[in-house]
Structure 1
Amino acid sequence: MPSLPIDLIDDAARWVTIVASLAIAIGLARLLRLRRDLGGRARLLGWLLVALVSMFALLSLLVVLDDSRSLPWLQSAVRIGIAALNAVGAVALLSNFRALINLPTPGHVANEQRRLTLELATALQRYEMALRGSNVAIFTQDGCLRYTSVSKPLFGYPVEQVLGVTDTDLLGEARAQPLNLIKRESFTASAARKGETEVEENGIKRWYDIHIEPLRDLSGTTVGLTGAVVDVTERKENEQHLRLLMRELTHRSKNLLAVIQAMARQTARHAGSIDDFVEFFSARLQALSRSHDLLVQESWHGASLTDMVRSQLGHHLDSESAQVSIRGPNIFLKPEAAQNIGLALHELSTNAAKYGALSVPGGRVEISWARRMAEAGGGFELSWRESGGPPVKEPKARGFGSLVIERNLARGLDGTVELSFAATGVVCNVSVPEHHLTSER
């Protein structure tokens, strides 16, 4: 088999070198143009390599085209250029040698990527746990205001029911209108917006504070919305209760002044001396104060009847030879009823301590109450019954205590009061309507 001429093989090798060098130079140049995130040192070395490979391809091309060496100076110029590029490349390589040595290995990069992925997943899990444990829901919506993500149930609906739908789909046109207005305004203006909305969930009204921000893509164009929804129902209820308390405070202050004025006038009318007036009036003020202490503890929502009885007769209940027994279910009184019953219990206990069953060691007082059936109008009945005390006689004239019990209590509670002075002991039966009762806070 005849061998190929050596010149033909040499020319073929030169053309392969030219094409390969140009391909390498073009590939490196394209890589550097696409990877604009590379550092300055890497880009410098890359462009030096592109120039070196390109000059080497040019020299090989000149050798092929100028085989007769008719232009020796041209090849010499290319060789000088290659030498200069080699020198610059050597300097650049040596000056960046330590940085190149410190480049991470592929295995190290993979390990770091796994570590960062794990840290990111852990941080995301903590973030989701924190959101689930709070009253804040984070959401995103697209340009059509469809929910694309939500961190927890929203407006009483589970996450899977919220995704892919709008507020109108969830809440209906009327209830979603305030939300849609503020969200469209934020989307159109590409600016943050805040607002509040009221949503009815299973028949219960709830309030939400909403903060909305525009969601932008890499070019800065608003493509959707992101925001936070905070359940502020408790705050709104507290605000409403505070306003109620302010109105009640104004009303109660006027009422309290009227009660104190009447108390002072009636006490002065029945007191024999200034000392008696001071003693009786101070005791009644303290009884009124004890009732108000219970109401303040419950933010003026009401007071427990059991607590009211104990506050007025505590010194008789807590003694070693307790002469007072109480029995009855848990009943919660509205403020006005609590105040009137507290004053009546004080007058009854004061009269019993001076003249009745509590004035002798063997006397007894039984206080009991029970709820009335709904068929009978509801409410409750309270009974005060004395026994074992001195014989009782019907008083010739009614004092302030009797007026408080018979007249003021009946009028203040819209109920009935029966006060009898039986020989065996005083008996007082009080009937209180249902509208003076309330539920515990």
Structure 2
Amino acid sequence: MEPETGIAIAAQAMVGAALIVMAIGSILLIKRLSELSPSGWWGVALGIVFAFLTGVALLLPSTSHWLTTYLSPLFPDGLVESEIAEFAWISAAIVAPFAAIAVCLLISAAIEMPSRADLEHRVAAHRRTLEKLRETRKDLEERVAVRSREVYEAKKRLEIALRDTNITVSMQDLSLRYVWIRNAPSGFDAQYMLGRTDDEILPNKTSEETMSLKQRVIDTGEEERGQVIVQNGHQLRYFDLTAEPYHNEDGSIAGILSIAVEVTEQKEREERLRSVLREMSHRSKNTLTILLGIARQTAQRSKSLSEFLASFDARLRALVGSQDLLVEHDWRAIPLDELVRTQIKPYLDGAERRLHLEGPSVRIRAEPAQNLGLALHELARNAQRFGALSDTKGQINVFWTLDPADDPNTLKITWQEKDGPEVSPPTSPPGFGQTMTERILARALDGNAVINYLPEGVVCKIDVSMAHVET
């Protein structure tokens, strides 16, 4: 081999190897590029192919001698070197047009690539955009924080406003399923109600009426009001319901907003008031009947207007005393000992030691208590005028007994006067007191009443039906 030929082949080999290394390096570098246009990418790709093929073409002549030397035993006819050389030049010729095209595309790509100034301008623009995005993000975060605080404060104000009240606020979608609820009524679980309709929560009849009212709101877009009655065990619960639509931004109906106010206590108060008014009317009629009877009986037995006024006033005060006791005990049964003391006390002149009471704790119901009070008043008034209270030594004992073995249906009351002046039976027709006790009182108590005028003192025995007694 000629020296110059050897140098040329070595040079070709070095250039070919360099081109192959450049192609491999370009492949590694291209992975880091991200801003080339599609044509630029094709140019770079073809450039890499060109470099690789050119390197191979240049390496083939330099390696043909090596191949011929080591492979000649396999080809004794000496065809290897010529065929390899021919293949190398043919490959170089084929690669040459592609190389030209690749160079043109690379130049085009290079022209399209931005300059350093352009890159710096783009970076600066990107930085400004990033800064604006940061400012926008900060502003949005501040707005979201402010809005979140407003929503939280509104929620807290609503919770505070609804706390310890009987007001429930809720929202339902177009299918009338609960999506939001605050201050659910006692006995209802808000978490359970979410996602359900009223017909899944309330009794059938109640749910039908409620669903119908709310559906009308969705159909008409108008507010609806109504009363909902819920059966809760043996108790009826009442709710005043107001439902109105709420809308999307485009004005379409998104669902309904409802406010339910439980008015059960108000209904119960109204019912109690009606009951009290009915009772007052009944009692007023009874009182008027008693007053008319007192007035009529007093007038028949009075010899003058002054005597009538004095007697009527005393009996009216006795009736008022009994009613004061009834008011004090909410017009329920009153203790018998209190009734006795109230009627006798005005005639004791402060000497309450002259009155002795004994008996178990019992109460007399309202209507018979008024009649019994009048009878006790008449006995005490007669005792002051003619009996044990007409002097300073007389005593009055009032005792009562319950004897289930002897008579389980009767309360026995005994009025006994002693240590007073000797008593004589009346010679004139029975007065108001005796008539009141033995006739009117006996009927009112569904029992019996008898006055005995014993020389040592008056004794009155009164039997009261247990239907008028509370123990």
TM-score of Structure 1 vs Structure 2, range by shorter chain:
0.5 to 0.7
Task: From the superposition, tell whether residues 385 and 375 of structure 1 become closer, same or farther in structure 2 (CA, over 3 Å).
Answer: closer
**Which residue of 386, 401, 405 maps to 1:355?**
386
* Structure-2 separation of matches of 1:169 and 1:379: 57
Question: Aligned partner of 2:211: which letter?
Answer: N
**Which residue of 252, 264, 267 maps to 1:221?**
252
Question: Aligned partner of 1:266: which letter?
Answer: Q
Residue 443 of structure 2 aligns to a residue whose secondary structure is: helix
**Which residue of 446, 449, 459 maps to 1:426?**
459
2:42 corresponding residue in structure 1: none
Alignment check: 8 A CA contact 1:162 1:170 kept: yes
* Structure 1 position 280, deviation (Å): 0.5
TM-score by length of 2: 0.60
Question: What pairs with 1:55-134 in structure 2 (closer than 5 Å)?
Answer: 121=152, 124-125=155-156, 127-134=158-165
1:203 corresponding residue in structure 2: 234
* Structure-2 separation of matches of 1:374 and 1:115: 83
1:399 corresponding residue in structure 2: 431
Alignment check: 8 A CA contact 2:387 2:457 kept: no
Question: Aligned partner of 1:305: which letter?
Answer: P
Q: Deviations over 1:7-42 (max 9, x none)?
A: 96797237768988999999999x9xxxxxxxxxxx
Question: Aligned partner of 1:347: which letter?
Answer: E
1:239 corresponding residue in structure 2: 270
The yes-or-no answer on 1:12 pairing with 2:42 is: no
Q: Deviations over 1:279-314 (max 9, x none)?
A: 101111122233344455667x43523554454344
CA RMSD of aligned residues (A): 4.7
Alignment check: 8 A CA contact 1:316 1:323 kept: no
Q: Deviations over 1:394-435 (max 9, x none)?
A: 44432111222221122234344344444444233231343x
Question: Aligned partner of 2:431: which letter?
Answer: G
Alignment check: 8 A CA contact 1:303 1:332 kept: yes
Question: What pairs with 1:31-50 in structure 2 (closer than 5 Å)?
Answer: none
Task: From the superposition, tell whether residues 118 and 266 of structure 1 become closer, same or farther in structure 2 (CA, over 3 Å).
Answer: same
Task: From the superposition, tell whether residues 264 and 220 of structure 1 become closer, same or farther in structure 2 (CA, over 3 Å).
Answer: same
The yes-or-no answer on 1:323 pairing with 2:425 is: no
Question: Aligned partner of 2:210: which letter?
Answer: L
Residue 383 of structure 2 aligns to a residue whose secondary structure is: helix
* Structure 1 position 136, deviation (Å): 2.6
Unaligned stretches of 5+ residues in structure 2: 1-17, 19-105
TM-score by length of 1: 0.64
Task: From the superposition, tell whether residues 21 and 114 of structure 1 become closer, same or farther in structure 2 (CA, over 3 Å).
Answer: closer
Question: What pairs with 1:402-417 in structure 2 (closer than 5 Å)?
Answer: 402-417=434-449
Question: Aligned partner of 1:244: which letter?
Answer: S
Unaligned stretches of 5+ residues in structure 1: 32-102
> Size of the alignment, in residue pairs?
360
Alignment check: 8 A CA contact 1:385 1:425 kept: yes
* Structure-2 separation of matches of 1:339 and 1:239: 28
* Structure-1 separation of matches of 2:412 and 2:180: 58
1:192 corresponding residue in structure 2: 223
Residue 346 of structure 1 aligns to a residue whose secondary structure is: helix
* Structure-1 separation of matches of 2:349 and 2:460: 23
Task: From the superposition, tell whether residues 248 and 273 of structure 1 become closer, same or farther in structure 2 (CA, over 3 Å).
Answer: same
Task: From the superposition, tell whether residues 106 and 321 of structure 1 become closer, same or farther in structure 2 (CA, over 3 Å).
Answer: same
* Structure-2 separation of matches of 1:131 and 1:226: 16
**Which residue of 344, 363, 373 maps to 2:375?**
344
Alignment check: 8 A CA contact 2:217 2:224 kept: yes
Question: Aligned partner of 1:403: which letter?
Answer: T
**Which residue of 298, 305, 308 maps to 1:267?**
298
Task: From the superposition, tell whether residues 316 and 280 of structure 1 become closer, same or farther in structure 2 (CA, over 3 Å).
Answer: closer
* Structure 1 position 197, deviation (Å): 3.2
* Structure 1 position 266, deviation (Å): 1.1
Alignment check: 8 A CA contact 2:402 2:408 kept: no
* Structure 1 position 377, deviation (Å): 7.1
Question: Aligned partner of 2:244: which letter?
Answer: E
* Structure-1 separation of matches of 2:466 and 2:224: 51
The yes-or-no answer on 1:141 pairing with 2:243 is: no
Residue 133 of structure 1 aligns to a residue whose secondary structure is: coil
Task: From the superposition, tell whether residues 344 and 231 of structure 1 become closer, same or farther in structure 2 (CA, over 3 Å).
Answer: farther
Question: What pairs with 1:145-160 in structure 2 (closer than 5 Å)?
Answer: 145-154=176-185, 156-160=187-191
Alignment check: 8 A CA contact 2:451 2:458 kept: no
Q: Is the radius of gyration larger for structure 1 or structure 2? A: 2
Question: Aligned partner of 1:432: which letter?
Answer: S
* Structure-2 separation of matches of 1:8 and 1:360: 142
Residue 228 of structure 1 aligns to a residue whose secondary structure is: strand
Alignment check: 8 A CA contact 1:384 1:427 kept: yes
* Structure 1 position 130, deviation (Å): 4.9
Residue 227 of structure 1 aligns to a residue whose secondary structure is: strand
